[in-house]
A and B are shown apart, each in its own frame.
Chain A
Amino acid sequence: MKTSGSDRIMNTVIYGALALLSFFSLYPFWNAFIISLNEGTNTSLGGLTFWPRQLTFDNYEVILNDNRFFKATFVSVIRTVAGTASAIFLTALFAYGLSKKGVIGHKWYMLLAIFTMYFQGGLIPTYLWFRELGLFNNIWVLFVPWMISVWNMIVFRTFFKGIPEGLEESAKIDGCSNYGLFFRIIVPLSGPVVATLSLFQAVFFWNEWFHSGIYINDAALLPVQNYLVNMINSNSAQEMISQLGNVPGGAGDVVSRSITPKSLQMTALIVVSLPIIMVYPFVQKFFVKGVLIGSMKE
Chain B
Amino acid sequence: MKQKKRFSAFIMMVLAFTVVLAACSSNNNGKTTETPSSKPSNTSPQEEAGSGDIVPFGEQPLEFSLYSNYDFSTPIGYGDDVTSKWMKETMKLNLIEIGSNGNAKQKFGTMMAANELPDAIMMDRGSPEYNTMVKNKLLVPLDEYYEKYPTLRNLIDDSTFNMLKHEDGHIYVIPNWFDSEKNPYKYSNTGWTVNRKIYKELGEPALATFEDLYAYLKQVKSKYPDVVPLETGITMNGVNMLFKLFYTGYGENRTIWNIGDIPRFPNTATSTMESIFNDSAYKEAFVWMNKLYREGLITQDMFTQKQEQVVEKLNSGRLAMTGFSNITGQGITANNILKASDPDAGYDYIPFLAAPEVDVDSVNPHTFGTLGWNVNVITSTAKEPERIFQFFDWFAGAEGQRLNSFGPPGVLYDEVDENGAPIDNERAKTISAEEKANLKLGIFNPEGSWMFYVIGHHKNAQNPETANWGNEASEFFGKYAKVNTDQFNNMVIDPKSDTGIVQEQIKQMWFEYNAKLIFAKSDQEFESTFEKLQTGVNKLGYDKVLEAYTKVWQANLELMK
| Interface residues, chain A, with chain B CB atoms under 8 Å away | 41, 44-46, 58, 68, 86, 89-90, 93, 123-124, 127-128, 131-140, 144, 175-180, 182-184, 210, 213-214, 217-219, 226, 229-231, 233-234, 236-262
Contacts and interface: CB of A to CB of B under 8 A. Distances in A.
Interface in B294-336: 307-308, 311-313, 315-316, 325-326, 328-330, 332-333, 336
B13 interface: no
Contacts of A246: 188-190, 366, 373
Contacts of B337: 41, 44-45
Given A44-B311, A134-B36, A258-B433, 20 more contacts: A44-B308, A44-B315, A45-B316, A123-B106, A127-B113, A132-B3, A133-B3, A139-B36, A183-B27, A213-B103, A214-B107, A226-B101, A234-B76, A237-B73, A239-B307, A248-B453, A250-B443, A252-B442, A253-B329, A256-B433
B434 interface: yes
Contacts of A89: 18, 31
Nearest to A68: B77
B437 A248 contact: no
Contacts of A257: 333, 437
Given A123-B109, A133-B10, A180-B23, A248 B315 contact: no
B404 interface: yes
Given A124-B110, A239-B326, A245-B177, A250 B404 contact: yes
Contact of B109 (A41, A124, A238, A259): A124
Given A137-B39, A138-B36, A138-B39, A127 B103 contact: no
Contacts of A258: 433-434, 437
A218 to B, nearest CB: 7
A234 B3 contact: no
A231 B99 CA distance: 11
Contacts of B18: 89-90, 93
A140 to B, nearest CB: 6
Interface stretch (B467-475, B509-517, B527-535): B467-475
A180 B22 CA distance: 5
B401 to A, nearest CB: 10
A234 B326 contact: no
Contact of B326 (A132, A242, A260): A242
B329 A242 contact: yes
Contact of A183 (B22, B330, B373): B22
A214 B27 contact: no
B75 A219 contact: yes
Nearest to A174: B24
Nearest to A147: B14
Interface of B: 3-7, 10-11, 18, 20-24, 27, 29, 31, 36-37, 39-40, 42, 72-77, 98-99, 101-103, 106-107, 109-110, 113-114, 177, 187-190, 236, 307-308, 311-313, 315-316, 325-326, 328-330, 332-333, 336-337, 366, 373-374, 404-406, 433-434, 436-437, 439-443, 445, 448, 452-453, 456, 468, 470-471, 474
A177 B236 contact: no
The 4 closest A-B pairs by CB, nearest first: A177-B23, A213-B101, A134-B3, A251-B442
A213 B107 CA distance: 9
Nearest to B22: A179
Q: Which of B21, B312, B329 has the most CB of A within 10 A?
A: B329
Q: Which of A175, A229, A257 has the most CB of B within 10 A?
A: A257
Contacts of B4: 134, 138
A254 B452 contact: no
Main secondary structure of the interface of A (DSSP, over half): helix
A255 B10 CA distance: 52
A69 to B, nearest CB: 11
A241 to B, nearest CB: 7
Contacts of A244: 236, 373
A248 B98 contact: no
Contacts of B434: 58, 258
A269 B77 CA distance: 21
B7 A135 contact: yes
Contacts of A180: 22-24, 27
Contacts of B42: 136-137, 217
Given A179-B20, A213-B101, A124 B442 contact: no
Given A179-B21, A248-B453, A255 B436 contact: yes
Contacts of A46: 312-313, 316
Given A243-B325, A248-B328, A253 B468 contact: yes
Contacts of A140: 7, 11, 36
Q: Which of B72, B436, B448 has the most CB of A within 10 A?
A: B72
Contacts of A139: 36-37
A44 B470 CA distance: 19
Q: Which of A135, A238, A245 has the most CB of B within 10 A?
A: A245
19 contacts: A134-B5, A137-B42, A177-B23, A177-B24, A183-B29, A217-B42, A231-B74, A233-B74, A234-B75, A234-B443, A242-B326, A243-B189, A248-B453, A249-B442, A252-B442, A253-B328, A253-B329, A256-B332, A258-B437
B296 to A, nearest CB: 20
Nearest to A257: B437
Contacts of A133: 3, 6-7, 10
B468 A254 contact: yes
A212 B400 CA distance: 34
A232 to B, nearest CB: 9
B110 A247 contact: no
